[in-house]
Amino acid sequence: MKQFLYPSHIGDLKTALAEAFEIKHDRYKYESLGHHKTALLIFFNNSLRTRLSTQKAALNLGMNVIVLDINQGAWKLETERGVVMNGDKSEHLLEAVPVMSNYCDIIGVRTFARFENRTDDYTEQILRQFIEHSGKPVFSMESATVHPLQAFADLITIEEHRAKNRRPRVVMTWAPHPKALPQAVPNSFAQWMLAADVDFVYTCPEGYELDPQFVGDLKPIYNQKEALKDADFVYAKNWSCPGVTRPQEYGKVLSTDMSWMVDKAHMDLTNNACFMHCLPVRRNMIVSDDVIESPRSLVIAEAANREISATVVLKRMIETL
C-alpha cells in the first residue's frame, strides 16, 4: 500500500477486518516486520489519540519512530508555490518534504482543513505534496477531507459490537459545536460505512450535506428523530458547512441548534443503540454526560482500536517497501 486515504486503498474490508482481529488477538505477531524501518509522523495540528496510537502501532511492528511537530521546534513551512517568502515562514514544503523523506521509510501526516479555499482543502493540497515529493508511502493521520485511521477503527468497533444475525443500522448525526470543525471525520465515516456490510444513513440540518465524493447519491435525512428510529449505532459528530449546496458558506457554522445534541431522549428512539464519537468531544454540546457515560457508549473502545487500525495500515505499507 503506497498511500492511505480511502477504503479503496486497503482493498476488501472483510480481509482488512480479519487482519485487524488477528492483530488485536496478538498485537506483537509481526514485531520483526519493521526492524530497521522508520516511521516519520508529522503533525501540523494537535492530537492525542492519533499521536499515541500510531506510535504504539509502529512499536508493535518493531519500527523506529520519529515525531515532528511542525509548529513547535521546526521551521514554519510555506505550502503555496509562487509565494514571495518575506513573512514568518522560513522553509518551503517543496524542500522540506524531500529532506524529511531521507530519514524515514513511511510518512504519516496530520493536517487539517484551513477553510481558506475549498478547492485547496478538497484536493488535499498539503498531503498531495507529501505523496508527490517524498517518494515514500504516505498515510493520512487526518487530513483536510479524510480521517481513514479513525473510520477503520470505528468499523472494527462496530464489527465487535454488532448483532451477528443481521445488518446493523448505523446513523451518523450532526451535533452542535461552538467552533467550525472540518468534515474529515464525517466524510470518512460515511465513505467507510457505505463500503461496509451495514445500512448507513446520516442526518443533519439543511446546508450540512456532505460532498458526493464521499456519500455518492446518499441524501441526508433532515429530521433527526426520524433518522434515529431503530438505529443500532449512533455516531455523533459536528462538522462545518461542506459548501456543497452553499459554496460561499464553506467552513462556516450554520447552526448551533442545541436540540440536535444527543441525549437520553434521542437514544430512547433507537434500538438500544450503542453511542459512538471519535473524541475529543465537548460534553453537553455534542452529547449529554449520561449518554457518553452509559454502558452503551463505545467511545473508549473506538480510541483503543486506533492502535489496531494503525498497525494494519503500517503493516501493509511495510510489506510493499
Torsion (CA) 103, 42, 20, 287 in degrees, nearest 10 = 170
Cα separation, 184 vs 142, in Å, equals 7
CB closer to ligand CP, 30 vs 139: 139
Q: How far is the CB of 85 from ligand CP (least distance, A)?
A: 30
Q: How far is the CB of 66 from ligand CP (least distance, A)?
A: 18
CB closer to ligand CP, 30 vs 44: 44
CB closer to ligand CP, 47 vs 187: 47
Q: How far is the CB of 59 from ligand CP (least distance, A)?
A: 17
Would you list the DSSP string of 6-38?
SHHHH--HHHHHHHHHHHHH-TTTTTTTTTT-E
Q: How far is the CB of 276 from ligand CP (least distance, A)?
A: 11
Q: How far is the CB of 48 from ligand CP (least distance, A)?
A: 4
**Residues making contact with ligand CP (CB under 6 A):** 47-50, 142, 150, 278-280
Cα separation, 16 vs 219, in Å, equals 28
CB closer to ligand CP, 16 vs 278: 278
Q: How far is the CB of 45 from ligand CP (least distance, A)?
A: 8
Is there a contact between 143 and 109 (Cβ–Cβ < 8 Å)? yes
Q: How far is the CB of 300 from ligand CP (least distance, A)?
A: 12
Q: How many CA atoms lie within 13 A of 100 on its CB side?
A: 31
Counting every residue written for the chain, the total comes to 321
Beta bridge partner(s), residue 171 = 201, 234
Cα separation, 41 vs 293, in Å, equals 32
Would you list the DSSP string of 85-124?
--SS--EEHHHHHHHHHTT-SEEEEE----SS-HHHHHTT
Is there a contact between 54 and 147 (Cβ–Cβ < 8 Å)? no
Cα separation, 211 vs 150, in Å, equals 19
Q: How far is the CB of 278 from ligand CP (least distance, A)?
A: 4
CB closer to ligand CP, 227 vs 308: 308
CB closer to ligand CP, 182 vs 243: 182
Would you list the DSSP string of 217-269?
TPPPBS-HHHHHTT-SEEEEE-----SSS-GGGTT------GGGSB-HHHHTT
CB closer to ligand CP, 254 vs 279: 279
CB closer to ligand CP, 50 vs 238: 50
